[in-house]
Amino acid sequence: MTTQGDYMIKRDGPYSASFLWEAPGTWDLSTPEELTDEQKELAKLARSFLTNEVEPVREKIESKEDPKLVPNLLKKAGELGLLMAEVPEAYGGLGLNKTTATVIAENATGWTSFIVPLMCHTGIGTIPILYYGTEAQKQKYLPKLATGEFLGAYALTEAGSGSDALAAKTKAVLSPDKKFYILNGEKQFITNGGFADVFTVFAKVDGEQFTAFIIDRGTPGLSIGKEEKKMGIHGSSTVPLILQDCKVPVENVLGEIGKGHRIAFNVLNVGRWKLGAACMGSCKRLLEYCSKYLKERHQFGKPIGSFQALREKLANDAIRTYLLESVIYSYAAALDSAWATLDKSGPDYYKNVVKKIKGLNIEASIAKVFGSEVLAYLSDDAVQMYGGYGFIQEYPPEQFFRDNRINRIYEGTNEINRLLIPDTLMRRAVKGSIDFMGELQKVLAGLKAGYSKADAKEPMAVWQDQLAAFKRLAIYFSGVCAQKYMEKLKEKQALVITMADLVIESYAMHCGFERALKIRKLKGEAAAQLAEEMVICYMSEKIPEMLIRVRQALFNVADGNEKEFSSYTKALERLIQPQFADTEKIKEKVAAHILEKERYAL
């Protein structure tokens, strides 16, 4: 099933965009249909906490009139154990897996920006110490972070260094007695900064070696600036952090001196999946609100949910939510199965944990980009479906719409994440840790010899072929761009972004497809029908759209050379012939289903 050259690393699961050449179902990843009873209980707990404790005080959270409210709610979440899921048992947590953490994240998300401080604490606020801390650091901080006694924050960004994080100016100098690092500089846009007890702060030792430090609130020389006035997520604290001769004990260096970039980027990878999971939760809440509203609101003597213009929106929203849910749970399952192979008691356990995360960083970037953009699509639709009321703050869509805007910016802008996808793919191809070149050769050879097809008896055989063809298109296009521009490809960002979009769409379709097949296997044909049709519907619309984009991009690549362009168009003809499904019928069915259930449900 997997192509393994001599130089290939042995794999035990999906790795670095291997979905581009692996058929859905190659790895038996668990799906949301296979959640355990405990996971369902945890979902209920997170949801009741949200609806009983958080949403009733939504306006107070948003106005920040009581600065203690959010930290107190976080502590309450801590009492219920909602902050300890991912912390290992040895440090007072429960050591639950990513799938379980996903369940909590999506269910703790609702009509409030409270999810931002919650995710910040359990993600970038806790993870750096968990993955990179020394035993003493872990013992000191993790048990308190797990219960919410300590609240965490993460300080990477500076005024002059956002996406270019390594250009940070904050400087650390060892004190003459070698007991402290003296930090000077200013960090910016620090989520949870207003109340956090523990900060992971990045600074350059002697202005050169990028390094992470754990800094406690109250450390001399550390002060917290004024709350920013933001477009959205008003309930979250966002402040600058000022370091003026801040004396940080040397034992608070996190990880190795000069290796802070590893922490910064790997922690972001985890944060990216988490952001996607929260976006998925928001999508589900919006489908609940919108389906009810479409039934209640009457115009022209009928509920507006009877008008096809709005039913189509609702169906588009549900289809995208299905794909996003499939992506997020697939990522979590891949990480869980990879982690399950590791020796927990081994000395290199966390090193290996991080290695596995790195192996799925393309997928993490996709979770972030796809998640924030699907939610952008849904929250825009929601405002539209609510009409004038969608623009009014008393109704949910207004806040969802505003709050989501930052999701496309923080944890690495969607542009940075897109650029990372082909960049990682190409770097690993050159290094030989994935056999991208071999796969490209196969695609090129197939241009003459043709491609094998799925057995016609297989479920959705035509669409299996279509998905495989679309992935080959992604490989082909990436190959053409890489071979034409070589190391200059990085400067062709418009092309790189098209490459990334092909990979992102491939993954979304792949995960949705894989899950539909799994549902059929678990619950039978009838139960899988809706999921199958949703994937088909999405493919039927998305693939031709992407094909036009690729054609245009290749025209640009040909740079006026007609012969070259015609060789590309010939290749495209052979690579893929778009298939069409009756999307109108499918969407009618999906909309009717969602309206009946009044929520997202398969």
Task: Give the catalytic positions in this structure.
Answer: 411
Cα–Cα distance measured from residue 105 to residue 103, given in angstroms and rounded to the nearest whole number: 6
CA–CA separation, 543 and 39 (whole Å): 35
Closest CB to another protein among residues 94, 447: 94
Helix, strand, coil content of the chain in percent (nearest 5)? 60, 10, 30
Considering the rule CB under 8 A, would residue 208 count as an interface residue with another protein? no
Using the rule CB under 8 A, is 597 a contact of another protein?
yes
The Cα–Cα gap between 462 and 584 comes to 19
Coil, strand or helix at 202 = strand
276 is written with which tokens? 């996607």
Question: Rounded to the nearest whole angstrom, what is the least distance from the CB of residue 40 to another protein in the complex?
Answer: 8
The helix (H) or strand (E) run that includes residue 406 is none
- Separation CA 588–CA 220 (nearest Å): 63
Residue closer to another protein, measured from CB, 49 or 386: 49
- Among left, alpha and beta (phi > 0; psi -120 to 50; other), residue 16 is left
Task: Determine which residue in the list 54, 84, 120, 500 makes contact with another protein, applying CB under 8 A.
Answer: 84
Instruction: Please choose, out of 33-41, 116-124, 202-210, 428-436, the segment that lies near another protein by the rule CB under 8 A.
Output: 33-41
Does residue 295 belong to the site contacting another protein (CB under 8 A)? no
Site membership for another protein, residue 80 (CB under 8 A)? yes
Structural element, H or E, at residue 134: none
> Is 82 one of the binding residues for another protein (CB under 8 A)?
yes
Q: Which is nearer to another protein, 45 or 168 (CB)?
A: 45
Q: Which is nearer to another protein, 163 or 299 (by Cβ)?
A: 299
Q: Is 119 among the residues that bind another protein (CB under 8 A)? A: no
| 51 lines the binding site for another protein (CB under 8 A) | no
From the list 36-44, 212-220, 363-371, 401-409, the region that binds another protein by CB under 8 A is 36-44
CA atoms within 13 A on the CB side of 315: 26
Stretch that binds another protein, among 10-18, 32-40, 180-188, 232-240 (CB under 8 A): 32-40
Rounded to 5 degrees, what are φ and ψ at 240? Answer: -85, 160
Which stretch in 13-21, 74-82, 205-213, 440-448 sits in contact with another protein by CB under 8 A? 74-82
Q: How far is the CB of 503 from another protein (least distance, A)?
A: 36
Of 40-48, 440-448, 506-514, 571-579: span binding another protein (CB under 8 A): 40-48
Task: Report the C-alpha gap between 427 and 432 in whole angstroms.
Answer: 8
Nearer of residues 39 and 219 to another protein, judged by Cβ: 39
The yes or no reply on residue 108 touching another protein (CB under 8 A) is no
CB-nearer residue toward another protein: 80 or 462:
80
Q: Does 48 bind another protein (CB under 8 A)?
A: yes
CB distance 120 to 83 below 8 Å: no
Quote the least distance from Cβ 130 to another protein, whole Å: 17
Query: 256 in helix, strand or coil?
Result: coil
Q: How far is the CB of 307 from another protein (least distance, A)?
A: 22
Q: Residue 81, interface with another protein (CB under 8 A)?
A: yes
C-beta of 456 vs 526, nearer to another protein:
526
- Count other Cβ atoms within 10 Å, centred on residue 578: 17
Least separation in angstroms between CB 41 and another protein: 5
Closer of 25 and 92 to another protein (Cβ): 92
CA–CA gap between residue 268 and residue 339 (Å, rounded): 18
Alpha carbon 51 to chain centroid, angstroms? 24
> Are 475 and 21 spatial neighbours (Cβ–Cβ below 8 Å)?
yes
Residue of 598, 594, 11, 4 lying closest to 311 (CA atoms): 594
| Strands 198-205 and 171-174, sheet pairing | parallel
CB 87 within 8 A of CB 139: no
Residue 592 sits in the site that holds another protein (CB under 8 A):
no
Smallest gap from Cβ 294 to another protein, in A, equals 16
Question: CA-CA distance, 303 to 232, in Å (whole number)?
Answer: 31
The pair of structure tokens assigned to 15 is: 């790795």
Of residues 37, 177, 559, 562, which one binds another protein by CB under 8 A?
Answer: 37
Q: For residue 296, state whether it binds another protein (rule: CB under 8 A).
A: no
Which of 17, 20, 29, 45 touches another protein (CB under 8 A)? 45
303 interacts with another protein by CB under 8 A: no
With binding defined as CB under 8 A, does residue 85 bind another protein?
yes
Contact 214, 172 (CB under 8 A): no
Nearer residue to another protein within complex by CB, 94 or 257: 94
Instruction: State in angstroms the smallest separation of the CB of 94 from another protein.
Output: 6
What is d(CA 443, CA 473) in angstroms, rounded to the nearest whole number?
Answer: 9
Q: Does 38 bind another protein (CB under 8 A)?
A: yes
Our finding on whether 94 is near another protein (CB under 8 A) is: yes
The window from 75-83, 239-247, 418-426, 479-487 that contacts another protein (CB under 8 A) reads 75-83
Closest CB to another protein among residues 51, 63: 51
Q: Which residue among 12, 28, 41, 251 contacts another protein (CB under 8 A)? A: 41
Candidate ranges 35-43, 130-138, 205-213, 243-251; the one touching another protein (CB under 8 A): 35-43
Question: How far, in Å, CA of 325 to CA of 479, rounded?
Answer: 30
Phi and psi, residue 237, nearest 5°? -85, 130
Residues touching another protein, count (CB under 8 A):
17
Give which of 470, 429, 477, 426 is closest to 451, Cα–Cα: 470
Contact stretch for another protein (CB under 8 A) within 81-89, 136-144, 151-159, 568-576: 81-89
Return the axis-axis angle of helices 361-386 and 260-296, rounded to nearest 10°. 30
Neighbouring residues of 85: CB distance < 8 A, sequence distance ≥ 6: 42, 93, 94, 96, 100, 101, 104, 122
For residues 475 and 440, is the Cβ–Cβ distance under 8 A?
yes
Q: Taking CB under 8 A as the rule, does residue 149 contact another protein?
A: no
Given the rule CB under 8 A, which residues bind another protein? 37-38, 40-42, 44-45, 48-49, 79-82, 84-85, 94, 597
